[in-house]
Amino acid sequence: MASLPIFMTAVANSSDEPAFPLLFTWSTPEAQVKEVLVIPDDEWLENHNIEPNALDLDENQLYEFGFEASDILAEWTNEFDTDVIYGLDPDELSALVEATYETKGLDPSFEVLSIHSWFEERDVSLTDALAEQGQTTPLHLLPPDEIIIQLLQIAVEYGLIEVADIAQPDDE
Q: What is the pLDDT of residues 72-86, one digit of tens each?
A: 999 999 998 889 999
- The answer to whether position 2 is within a domain reads no
Q: Is residue 1 part of a domain?
A: no
Structural domain boundaries, residue 129 = 7-171
From the list 142, 35, 161, 26, the residue with the least C-alpha distance to 85 is 26
Q: Is residue 97 pLDDT above 80, yes or no?
A: yes
Amino acid at 58: D
Query: Residue 124 domain-assigned?
Result: yes
Tell if the pTM clears 0.85, that is, is over it: yes
For 138-172, what is each residue's pLDDT tens digit? 998 999 999 999 999 999 999 998 866 555 444 44
Our count of domains for the chain comes to 1
Q: What is the DSSP string of 46-67?
A: HH------TT---HHHHHHH-B
Asked if the structure places residue 69 within a domain, the reply is yes
Tell me, what's the pLDDT at 96? 97
What is the CATH number for 155? 3.30.420.10
Q: What is the pLDDT of residue 134?
A: 87
Using one digit for the tens of pLDDT, what is the confidence trace for 4-44? 899 999 999 999 999 999 999 999 988 899 999 999 999 99
